[in-house]
Structure 1
Amino acid sequence: MNFEYSAKTQELRGRLHAFMERHIYPNERPFYEEVARGDRWQPVSILEALKEEARAEGLWNLFLPDSKRGAGLTNLEYAPLCEIMGRVIWAPEVFNCSAPDTGNMETIERYGTPEQKEQWLAPLLDGKIRSAFAMTEPLVASSDATNIESRIVPDGDHYIINGRKWWSSGASDPRCKLFIVMGQTEPEHPNRHLRQSMILVPRDAAGLTVVRNLTVFGYDDAPHGHAEVLFENVRVPAENLLLGEGRGFEIAQGRLGPGRIHHCMRLIGLAERALEDMCKRTLSRVAFGKPIAEQTVTLERIAESRILIDQARLLVLNAAYMMDTVGNKVARKEIAMIKVAAPNMACQVIDWAIQAHGAAGLSGDFTLAYNYAQARTLRFADGPDEVHRNAIGKMELAKYQM
């Protein structure tokens, strides 16, 4: 087990750090100021200009492994790059490495036909369009994905889709041209994990309606957003089905493994930045006759934050290493562990940083409040904590069952 960064990763880390210092951090406030003006759901010109800078510097599609179209990095090589990009919520899009597009591109790359790749993967990789993933539903407990009720019904050489989805991230973006939709094709199949399929649905398909934008602790995340979407007799060609009927869970597991690594490393980037902010703030503020940094409770929180961040990073790197060496299926316990550990760690560290800033930490003058909302969201995304803890517990018990 060797977590030493490869020469390729070291070189890319240096370039990414430099890019963040030159282009991302100085544009954080201008980015949000631009979003606040005019139509908040239109692409942000600052971000679009930075994409061209990133592309010109070869910092583009770093996420896609084993592909002529991407950087060809392993999960272990890409993870520390994800951490750097994750320090600013919107930064991954600059490098065409943002969710849900990364997961959708990996899905089409791995499971799509040559025709599907030409039609959808190529423009996604080029950054010309964006996409959404429609799985979660408002009327059922979607933490158990076998509950999903949307239907994908064959009709000659087409499928007809009916259902209501929500938390479809990116659906409100005018550049969103594609949905990957999960629904039932065989609701009576005796194996409940073979009832679901996934299908590619163009955003402009008749009967597809974005009903509303959802908020997260009051934030609507414009111009990206999270939408409730209605599918009413949406008809798409049969060749839009991915992999085959009943293969939806198989695809989901292939999609979510790398995505969980990405989410967790981005959270570590957010937590690192929160710790930096906490240290700087407490060194510059005096309370009860001495800098806040010298108060025992502050020292304890700074120390505990350092411990929690480093623990989480090592857990994620271990999961990435196992995915690369023994595969996602064998590494499923390690993947589940990081999905619990990283969001909880980030929530705690950011919360302490907010407390260290006083009431200012609750305001929009700092990034902490918004970053906390993002970190708390990820205790649900890609499966809630409870589901992962149950899976981990069952795998531990299995060692001792005869």
Structure 2
Amino acid sequence: MTSNYGISPKAQRILKVLKEFVENDCIPAEATFNQQIGKGEARFQIVPPVLEQLKVKAKTLGLWNLFLGEEEYGTLGAGLTNFEYALMAEQMGRSIRLAPEACNCSAPDTGNMEVLAKYGSDAQKQRWLTPLLAGEIRSAFAMTEPNVASSDATNIGTSIVRDEKTATYLINGHKWWITGAGDPRCQFFFVVGQTNPSHPNPYQRQSVVLVPAKTPGVKVVRPLEVFGYDDAPSGHCEVTFENVRVPVDNIILGEGRGFEVLQGRLGPGRLHHCMRAIGLAERAMDLTLARITSRTAFGRKLAENAVVMHQIATCRMNVEQARLLVLHAAGKMDRVGPKGAQREIAIAKIRVPNLVLKVIDDCIQMHGAAGVGADLILAEMYAGARTLRIADGPDDVHLSQFGRNEIKKYLAQKAKL
């Protein structure tokens, strides 16, 4: 990516500094990060010191809370547009384990900060948003459940019962794939559950409640692996909530408004994942170009093989297509907001992970046996990109919804004729 796409001078300066920080600080620190992670159970008890060092430097460089735009969040962040942040997130995606967190731009904290900034009470903001913005704590979003098809969020069965006598909510539920739950710095969960299971509108049965991580009854059962990767110390965990009590003031926005909170959180978050995925693909290509131009097989450089040339050309076209889809959606969000850009976000969410996955797969193939090993980052990239086809809603659900909306649009237009 060489063009500045006409972004503001301020964003151009930040992007230049960020690119240097990722390439010169974050990527070289990855080996140290992996060495500093503990062994066994200690993998979820130790935060590698190099990460905190990177966070200090990122703050000093002004690379902090880049995801928060000025129009909606005032001076909380860097004041970038969604379009400008897309370019920043791409760079951070090149060092996916370190750069986003180093800049306080990593999921699930980004979405949780947005929820608190948009919907949180003054007390909730003071207690939880302020330390999140400072990078002093981490958080988790507990939605997916093992016993139901969570791709249909109306299935979420966690019980959130209001006790008027004690002015508390009693929470019972079983969650899994809860990113960040294993991190020793995780201080709270947003828990999605039913406050009114008998409401005639299934989209008004759900609520979101803030649950401090140390509340009695909250149990992190185990970390889960993604294609063998545990993503310590953050992790993706199985968590149970057994007779957990929190004050009624911990409700977010109000009872029955869980879907409103979810849509406000997931729309931008889906696009953020796609933004970072472009960086994954670019780094995979960089590694592959270095390999094919230096390796010889059957008497000539790999780069001189027509099949390899075709693969590189296809990879480049896929990356460019993915980037344009992301930038188009981000630009639409800037003009009409996440709800107005729902169609463009859906297209990016469906297509970009598939395009990036294909790029990484081709790069693995061009690396041969080295591509599937742990010495390089390609296998870990593949695991992450493949997960994106399920995270924040599987392809199948988005395709069905997108197709349904296209048909409705056609019928509406036809009816006007």
**Fold match (TM-score > 0.5):** yes
Measure, in 1, the Cα distance between the counterparts of 2:231 and 2:186. Answer: 15
In structure 2, the residue matched to 1:65 is 69
Out of 146, 151, 162, which is 1:138 matched to?
146
Out of 226, 236, 243, which is 2:236 matched to?
226
Aligned pair count?
Answer: 401
1:333 and 1:391 in contact (8 A); partners too: no
Matches of residues 88-237 of structure 1 in structure 2 within 5 Å? 88-90=95-97, 91-156=99-164, 157-237=167-247
Q: What residue identity is the alignment partner of 1:173?
A: D
In structure 2, the residue matched to 1:78 is 85
Measure, in 1, the Cα distance between the counterparts of 2:324 and 2:356. Answer: 14
Out of 49, 54, 69, which is 1:50 matched to?
54
* Structure 1 position 4, deviation (Å): 2.7
* Structure 1 position 293, deviation (Å): 1.2
1:352 aligns with 2:359: no
In structure 2, the residue matched to 1:14 is 16
Measure, in 1, the Cα distance between the counterparts of 2:78 and 2:268. Answer: 15
1:65 and 1:72 in contact (8 A); partners too: yes
Q: Which runs of 5+ in 1 are unaligned?
A: none
Measure, in 2, the Cα distance between the counterparts of 1:383 and 1:6. Answer: 33
Measure, in 2, the Cα distance between the counterparts of 1:180 and 1:73. Answer: 26
Q: Which runs of 5+ in 2 are unaligned?
A: none
* Structure 1 position 3, deviation (Å): 5.0
Q: What residue identity is the alignment partner of 2:116?
A: I
* Structure 1 position 340, deviation (Å): 1.0
Measure, in 2, the Cα distance between the counterparts of 1:195 and 1:37. Answer: 42
1:198 and 1:242 in contact (8 A); partners too: yes
Runs of 4 or more, structure 1, over 3 Å off, are none
In structure 1, the residue matched to 2:348 is 338
In structure 2, the residue matched to 1:299 is 309
Q: What residue identity is the alignment partner of 1:40?
A: R
1:283 and 1:291 in contact (8 A); partners too: yes
* Structure 1 position 246, deviation (Å): 0.7
> Equivalent residue of 1:152, what SS?
strand
User: Which sits farther off after the overlay, 323-332 or 237-246?
Assistant: 323-332
Q: What residue identity is the alignment partner of 1:127?
A: G
* Structure 1 position 189, deviation (Å): 0.8
Measure, in 2, the Cα distance between the counterparts of 1:311 and 1:11. Answer: 26
Measure, in 1, the Cα distance between the counterparts of 2:369 and 2:387. Answer: 22
CA shift digits 1:249-281 (9 cap, x unpaired): 111010011111210010000001111111111
Measure, in 2, the Cα distance between the counterparts of 1:94 and 1:265. Answer: 17
Out of 382, 385, 395, which is 1:385 matched to?
395
Measure, in 1, the Cα distance between the counterparts of 2:32 and 2:397. Answer: 39
> Equivalent residue of 2:125, what SS?
helix
Give the % identical residues.
57
Measure, in 1, the Cα distance between the counterparts of 2:327 and 2:237. Answer: 32
Q: What residue identity is the alignment partner of 1:299?
A: M
Measure, in 1, the Cα distance between the counterparts of 2:304 and 2:207. Answer: 57
Q: Are residues 281 and 36 of structure 1, via their aligned partners in 2, closer, same or farther at CA, if it must alter by over 3 Å?
A: farther
2:22 and 2:94 in contact (8 A); partners too: no
* Structure 1 position 36, deviation (Å): 5.1
